[in-house]
Amino acid sequence: PTPPPPAPPAVYQWNQLSYGGIGDGTEPEMRLGESSWVWQRQGLSIGGQQYAHGVSVHSRSSVTIDLNRTCTAYDALVGVDDLTLGLGAVRFSVYVDGARAWQSPVVRGHDAAVPVHVGLSGAKTIRLVVEPQTPFGGVAVADWAQSRFTCG
């Protein structure tokens, strides 16, 4: 007999993740107490482009996510939310198990979103960081649009 095909990978949207201690520890969870404020959203806009879901954060933020399972990739589109009316400039970084795996160029208000793709094979944690790059960078709302984890 032919073996059944493997199950399709599970995709976890960041805007639907629980905080550690609230979830059951089998899916990716945001680390409570070590993470900045997050706004888990349906519908947001970067550079005039609408996105169905994502997470907005302050322009200086750090969010740690415990993967709690085998994951293969993190993907998102990042930028300054159109709510900031073009103000601000930020830089996004993704850290995997403490080492920086990806960094964006400086992204300014009204810029198009920048795609993120980071491999997660063997990883335990991911930390998503935003840092302001101008005096007005601190007023920016930064978005991780279409933010998702692909896991086995």
**Rounded Cα distance, 111 and 78, in Å:** 10
With cut-offs at 50, 70 and 90, classify the pLDDT of residue 85.
Answer: confident
Q: Which helix (H) or strand (E) holds 151?
A: strand 141-151
Q: Which helix (H) or strand (E) holds 47?
A: none
CATH number, residue 37 = 2.60.120.1060
**Rounded Cα distance, 59 and 57, in Å:** 6
In a domain, 65, yes or no: yes
C-alpha distances in Å from residue 131, one per residue of 19, 44, 53: 23, 20, 22
Question: Considering its fold, how many domains does the chain have in total?
Answer: 1
pTM: 0.91
- pLDDT attached to residue 124: 97
**Per-residue pLDDT tens over the stretch 32-78:** 888 888 999 999 999 999 999 999 999 899 999 999 999 999 999 99
- pLDDT attached to residue 136: 60
In a domain, 2, yes or no: no
**Per-residue pLDDT tens over the stretch 139-148:** 789 999 999 9
**Per-residue pLDDT tens over the stretch 104-132:** 999 999 999 999 999 999 999 999 999 99
**What range defines the domain where residue 133 resides?**
10-151
**Per-residue pLDDT tens over the stretch 13-26:** 999 999 887 778 88
Mean pLDDT over each residue of the chain, to the nearest integer? 92
In a domain, 72, yes or no: yes
